[in-house]
Amino acid sequence: MSYSTFNRKHFDSTKEPMFFGENVNVARYDQQKHPIFEKLIEKQLSFFWRPEEVDLSTDRKDFQRLEEHEQHIFLSNLKYQTLLDSVQGRSPNVALLPIVSLPELETWIETWSFSETIHSRSYTHIIRNIVNDPTKIFDDIVTNEEITKRADSVSKYYDRLIEMVNLYNTMGMGTFDVPGRGSIEISMPKLKKALYLTIASVNVLEAIRFYVSFACSFAFAERTLMEGNAKIIKLIARDEALHLTGTQHMLNLMASGKDDPEMAVIAAECQDEVRQIFIEAAEQEKEWATYLFKDGSMIGLNAQILGQYVEYITNVRMQAVGLETCFATKHNPIPWINAWLVSDNVQVAPQEAEISSYLVGQTDNSLDDSDFDDFDL
Amino acid sequence: MTSISKPKAPEKKEQVHRVLLGKKQILVTEDEPLLVQLERAGIHVEYQCREGYCSSCSIKLLWGNVIYPFEPLAWVQSGYLLACCAIVKSDIEIAFFD
Ligand code: FES
Ligand SMILES: [Fe+2]
Ligand SMILES: [Fe+2]
> pLDDT, tens digit, for every residue of A252-291?
999 999 999 999 999 999 999 999 999 999 999 999 999 9
Q: How are beta strands B87-88 and A182-186 bridged, if at all?
A: unpaired
pLDDT of the residue at B8: 59
Residues in B 46-85 with any Cβ partner in A closer than 8 A: 46-51, 53-56, 58, 73-75, 77, 80
Return the amino acid letter for A216: C
pLDDT of the residue at A377: 38
Walk along chain B (98 residues) and give the pLDDT tens digit of each residue: 444 555 555 555 678 999 999 999 999 999 999 999 999 999 999 999 999 999 999 999 999 999 999 999 999 999 999 999 999 999 999 999 86
- DSSP symbols for A124-146: HHHHHHH-S-HHHHHHHHHH-HH
Kindly state the helix (H) or strand (E) to which residue A251 belongs, with its residue range: helix A227-256
Residue of A218, A214, A166 lying closest to A194 (CA atoms) = A166
What's the rounded mean pLDDT across residues A107-129? 97
B54 CB less than 6 Å from ligand 1? yes
- Looking at all shown ligands, the one closest to residue A109's CA atom is 3
Q: Given a cut of 90, is residue A196 above it in pLDDT?
A: yes
What's the rounded mean pLDDT across residues A351-370? 37
Q: What percent of chain A has pLDDT over 70?
A: 91
| A233 interface with B at CB cutoff 8 Å | no
Write the burial class of residue A88 (CB in 10 Å: 0-12 exposed, 13-18 middle, 19+ buried): buried
Cα(A26) to centroid of ligand 1, in Å? 34
pLDDT of the residue at A353: 31
Lowest-pLDDT choice from A104-113, A144-153, A210-219: A144-153
Q: Given a cut of 50, is residue A98 above it in pLDDT?
A: yes
pLDDT of the residue at A301: 96
Give the residue with greater pLDDT, A75 vs A354: A75
Give me the domains of chain B, ranges plus CATH numbers: 16-95 (3.10.20.30)
- Please pick, among A29, A80, A123, A309, the residue that the annotation labels catalytic: A123
Calculate the average pLDDT of chain A.
Answer: 91
Contact in structure between A42 and A214 (CB atoms under 8 Å): no
The alpha carbon of residue B68 is apart from the nearest alpha carbon of chain A, in Å, by 16
pLDDT of the residue at A276: 97
Distances (CA, A) of A61 to A64, A225, A226, A338: 5, 9, 9, 27
As a whole number of angstroms, the distance between CA A78 and CA A75 comes to 5
Residue A150's pLDDT band, with cuts at 50, 70 and 90, is confident
pLDDT of the residue at B10: 53
Residue of A274, A308, A364, A325 lying closest to B97 (CA atoms) = A325
pLDDT of the residue at A361: 34
pLDDT of the residue at B4: 54
What's the rounded mean pLDDT across residues A132-148? 94
Residue of A312, A307, A314, A309 lying closest to A290 (CA atoms) = A307
Span between the terminal Cα atoms of chain A, in Å:
67
Give me the domains of chain A, ranges plus CATH numbers: 34-41+52-346 (1.10.620.20)
pLDDT of the residue at B11: 52
B65 CB less than 6 Å from ligand 1? no
CA A263, distance to chain mean position in Å, is: 22
Q: Given a cut of 70, is residue A302 above it in pLDDT?
A: yes
pLDDT of the residue at A325: 93
Mutate which of B45, B55, B59, B61 for ligand 1 pocket (most atoms within 8 A of beta carbon): B55
Cα(B17) to centroid of ligand 3, in Å? 39
